């Protein structure tokens, strides 16, 4: 279990450095960042946040169910976690599609370079996390987790919560942080 | 109802409500930008803290582990808001 915390800690530090570098670039080019930010769909970003929070909650419930040896409940919660993970992927794919359709790419301007980089790295985390949740769901269906054997499930759950908390910062950073008038 | 007996459920309800406040409330032009941006990031920091303490279950973790993550939340909020204020500062 210690290994996963080292990974989560290192990943968190890397993202903190990325947030810092984003803010430095924004500081140098605030007007461009603001103009491009306004072209993002904040409603979709907010919906993505609600999806990931729900996903994280379902996975937390699965861990609680396993701790209490309520082994019928855990697979249902984990399946919910997988499906909400897929919903986030679908939502982000739609958003990328909308941007590409109007000719917006990472080369458009510095803001969009950051937008695609940060959301792309995060999306890679979501894909990995959804895969890990699918693995955990299959194992829980086979009753391979219980109160005395849940370290793998807790590692997967902790990674998934990391994915959630990174988005909680990324969403306002990219979509909501307007420039002072 | 079983779900309502779970602390995680109440935390989730709070996180969902906080998200609605920032996305469809504070971010709108009715609010002064400083109030909006500071409010949005303080709420985000609070949300991250609840995810760490209640979903990741670090509330009862050893103090050094818990502190490392708590410091991360504060550092990220300070970095973002510090640069935001630096960007609007004259000169």
Using DSSP, state whether B27 is helix, strand or coil: coil
Q: Is residue B27 within 8 angstroms of chain A, CB to CB?
A: yes
How does residue A101 score in pLDDT terms, banded at 50, 70 and 90?
very high
pTM score: 0.96
How many other C-beta atoms are found inside a 10 Å radius of the C-beta of residue B53?
Answer: 17
State chain B's mean pLDDT as an integer.
93
Q: What pLDDT was estimated at residue A181? A: 67
| pLDDT exceeds cutoff 60 at B10 | yes
**A153 and A62 in contact (C-beta within 8 Å)?**
yes
**CA atoms of A166 and B68, how far apart (whole Å):** 16
Contacting B residues, span 44-73, partner chain A, CB-CB under 8 Å: 44, 47-48, 51-52, 54-57, 65, 68-69, 72
- CATH placement of domain A2-176: 1.20.120.80
SS (H, E, C) A6-48: HHHHHHHHHHHHHHHHHHHHHHHCHHHHHHHHCCCCHHHHHHH
- Distances in whole angstroms, Cα of residue A52 to Cα of each of A106, A130, A161, A162: 25, 11, 9, 11
Interface confidence (ipTM) of the complex: 0.95
Q: What is the mean pLDDT of residues A16-25?
A: 98
Q: What pLDDT was estimated at residue B55? A: 97
Q: What pLDDT was estimated at residue B29? A: 84
Residue of A176, A171, A31, A23 lying closest to B29 (CA atoms): A176
Distance from CA of B37 to the nearest CA of A (A): 6
Best A9, A57, A111, A153 residue to mutate vs chain B (most B CBs within 10 Å) = A57
């Amino acid at each position: 279990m210690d290994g996963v915390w080292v990974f989560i800690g290192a990943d968190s530090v890397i993202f903190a450095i990325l947030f810092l570098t984003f803010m430095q670039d924004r500081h140098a080019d605030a007007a461009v960042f603001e103009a491009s930010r306004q072209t993002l769909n904040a409603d979709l970003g907010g919906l993505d946040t609600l999806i990931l929070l729900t996903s994280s909650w379902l996975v937390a419930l699965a861990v609680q169910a396993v701790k209490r040896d309520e082994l019928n409940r855990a697979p249902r919660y984990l399946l919910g976690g997988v499906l909400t993970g897929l919903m986030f992927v679908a939502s982000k794919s739609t958003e990328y599609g909308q941007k590409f359709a109007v000719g917006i790419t990472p080369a458009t301007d510095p803001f969009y370079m950051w937008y695609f980089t940060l959301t792309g790295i995060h999306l890679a985390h979501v894909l990995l996390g959804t895969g890990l949740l699918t693995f955990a769901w299959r194992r829980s269906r086979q009753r391979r987790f219980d109160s005395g054997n849940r370290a793998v499930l807790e590692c997967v759950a902790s990674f998934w919560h990391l994915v959630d908390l990174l988005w909680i910062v990324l969403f306002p950073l990219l979509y909501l942080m307007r420039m002072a008038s | 109802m079983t779900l309502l007996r779970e602390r995680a459920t109440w935390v989730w309800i709070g996180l969902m409500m906080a998200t609605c406040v920032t996305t469809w409330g504070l971010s709108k032009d009715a609010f002064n930008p400083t109030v909006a941006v500071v409010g949005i990031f303080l709420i985000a920091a609070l949300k991250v803290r609840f995810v760490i303490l209640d979903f990741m279950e670090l509330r009862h973790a050893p103090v050094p582990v818990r502190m490392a993550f708590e410091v991360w939340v504060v550092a990220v909020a300070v970095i973002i808001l510090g640069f935001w204020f630096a960007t609007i500062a004259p000169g």
